[in-house]
A and B are shown apart, each in its own frame.
Chain A
Amino acid sequence: MHIFFAMAPLNTPDGFGIWVGAFFTLCILSFLYKDNPFFRFAESIFAGCSLGYYIGNTFSQTIVPNVLEPLVHDGHTPFISWGWWVLVIPIIIGVNLYTRYIPKIAWVARFSLAIYVGYYAALEMMLKLQGEVLPQSADTIISLVPRGTPMIDWFTSIVVMIGVLCVLVYFFFSAEHKGVLGGVSKVGVWFLMISFGAAFAYTIMGRISILIGRVVFLMGDWLGYGA
């Protein structure tokens, strides 16, 4: 164990960046005491920076290498080569989305939006059915007799199956939840409560991890602990 502090220097670009980061971290953490102008300032700066970063990153990592570079350097003959059209058509569809900001021709953007929605609807449909509904349903179909599987795994599968059925009954609103249906849906509520509890506990774990990240940044990068 060694305790050693050497604060980040303010006169280097990296050091200055760390000081700025530490300032904004403390601004955000100040909300824990109470809402204040420093917190709001840091919040607004973060929103703006995130958007700017996203645009710059997408431009340099996607638009330039996948669209502009091939268009300029791949030797496509405009209007004639197929490769040129493959690049230009998506550009037209993309740029077309921005016509919604010109009121007179705003309707033109709907064509691009329709293509976008159609593509992702089809993609999601496949994904949900083949990637979620079928495999997840299959996982709840189990043998009622434990054959070759450890007893604990078999028991877990039975609990999962009962849980799925009870929760499905709870979300069945076409009949009044009375009698057997009421009892089963009550068991479903218990399963839901347990799952919410587990999810909440995991959420706390995640939030503590974020706090750890900031504490490590302040202690390590800014104050220089362990440097």
Chain B
Amino acid sequence: MNFMDWITNLDRRWLYLLVGVFAIVPLIFPLGMPVNVSPAVQSLYDHVEGMNPGEIIMVSMDYGPSTGPENDPMACALIRHALSRDLRIVMLALYPIGGVNEGIQELQRCVGDLDPPNGVLESTKFPGKIYGKDFVYLGYKDGGLATMRQMNENIHEVFPSDYWQTPVTEYELSNEVQGYDDVNFAFSVATGIIGEWWANTVNAQFGLPVAVGCTAVSAPKYFAYYNAGQMFALLGGLKGAAEYERLVLDNYPQAKADTEEQVFYAAKGWDVQSVVYSIITIFIILGNVAYLLERRRTRMQL
């Protein structure tokens, strides 16, 4: 049996095994693959850099655990970037299957453990940053599109209490934010269609600048919105996350130290992506060459 016969008859489970092995190795032995920052990602970084201390960012957690490896690093990088620059953050979740848990998990990963009902309000990772004053988490609300529209009229009606069921009027920050006019921009960390709603509803109808961090599967569609100017920045999949994380880590030592403490972060994921992607590409090329040669051989026999 020659090589081409072998490749066309190869049991695909060997390929799964190969991908599995190469998904593990770069996590143990990081390769430090280069990350080139694209304009769509640079735009978010530049926008945050251009904001004045005290200005507010709305971060909407519109994804669940299934896309966490792509979306978690985006959310974390933005939270760390914003807090490092003394910006304030209002977080909320609109994704039904796990958005609320992703929100609290990423917030606590970035600022440290919180327990506002029992008076634990200060961030351990960003000393001096206080829950309710510098950042607040409003929790989850059902309804998607209808919720977004209603938030333009009065956020307090949509989110009468925060994640811990404390009335939003009791905290300085959530009391101050009553509509989209009170925030500088919204960042939707999204899977599926919710990020699109931020562009085609909140941006188009209410004029709030929007940036989206989407999953790779959705990225081609989101780029149409980005090119049309309906969102000013776009982080597409793990690659977008790694680019933004690189920008933040290169410029903020505290964020770098906190991020590199984690078992997983976007740059490590990008190493795995690069290796596994290369393997898949090689097998796609080999498979196609084998197919073409096989077709040629069949034609010649006829």
B252 CB-CB contact with A under 8 Å:
no
Known contacts A136-B224, A209-B237: does B263 contact A226 (CB below 8 Å)? yes
Residue count of chain A within 8 Å CB distance of chain B: 51
CB distance from A222 to the nearest CB of B (A): 11
Which chain B residue shows the least CB distance to A123? B145
Contact residues in A for B220 (Cβ distance below 8 Å)? 195, 198-199, 202
B228/A220 in contact, CB under 8 A: no
Which chain B residue shows the least CB distance to A215? B23
Which chain A residue shows the least CB distance to B220? A199
A206/B216 in contact, CB under 8 A: yes
Contact residues in A for B141 (Cβ distance below 8 Å)? 61-62, 66
B23/A130 in contact, CB under 8 A: no
Q: Which of A3, A54, A70, A126 has a CB less than 8 Å from the CB of B96?
A: A54
A203 CB-CB contact with B under 8 Å:
yes
A212, B205: Cα distance in complex, Å: 38
B142/A203 in contact, CB under 8 A: no
CB distance from B227 to the nearest CB of A (A): 6
Known contacts A57-B96, A202-B216, A209-B216: does B142 contact A62 (CB below 8 Å)? yes
A209/B67 in contact, CB under 8 A: yes
A113 CB-CB contact with B under 8 Å:
no
Q: Which of B29, B140, B264 has a CB less than 8 Å from the CB of A1?
A: B29
Which chain A residue shows the least CB distance to B157? A66
Q: Which of A54, A136, A206 has the most CB of B within 10 A?
A: A206
Interface string of B148-187 (1 = CB under 8 A from A): 0100000000111100010000000000000000000000
Contact residues in A for B280 (Cβ distance below 8 Å)? 204
Which chain B residue shows the least CB distance to A133? B200
A61/B269 in contact, CB under 8 A: no
B228/A216 in contact, CB under 8 A: no
A62, B139: Cα distance in complex, Å: 9
A195, B273: Cα distance in complex, Å: 21
Q: Which of B19, B97, B197, B215 has a CB less than 8 Å from the CB of A206?
A: B215
List residues of chain A with CB under 8 Å of any chain B CB: 1, 3, 32-33, 50, 53-54, 57-58, 61-62, 64-66, 69-70, 119-120, 123, 126-128, 130-132, 135-136, 138-139, 160, 195, 198-199, 202-206, 208-213, 215-216, 219-220, 225-227
20 CB < 8 A contacts A-B? A1-B28, A61-B139, A62-B143, A65-B165, A69-B160, A119-B146, A128-B200, A131-B203, A135-B229, A139-B227, A205-B216, A205-B238, A208-B23, A210-B69, A211-B19, A211-B20, A215-B272, A219-B24, A219-B27, A220-B263
Which chain B residue shows the least CB distance to A62? B142
A3/B13 in contact, CB under 8 A: no
What 13 additional pairs, Cβ within 8 angstroms, besides A58-B96, A66-B158, A208-B23? Answer: A61-B100, A65-B165, A66-B141, A127-B201, A130-B204, A206-B216, A208-B273, A209-B215, A209-B269, A211-B20, A216-B263, A220-B263, A225-B28
A149, B139: Cα distance in complex, Å: 43
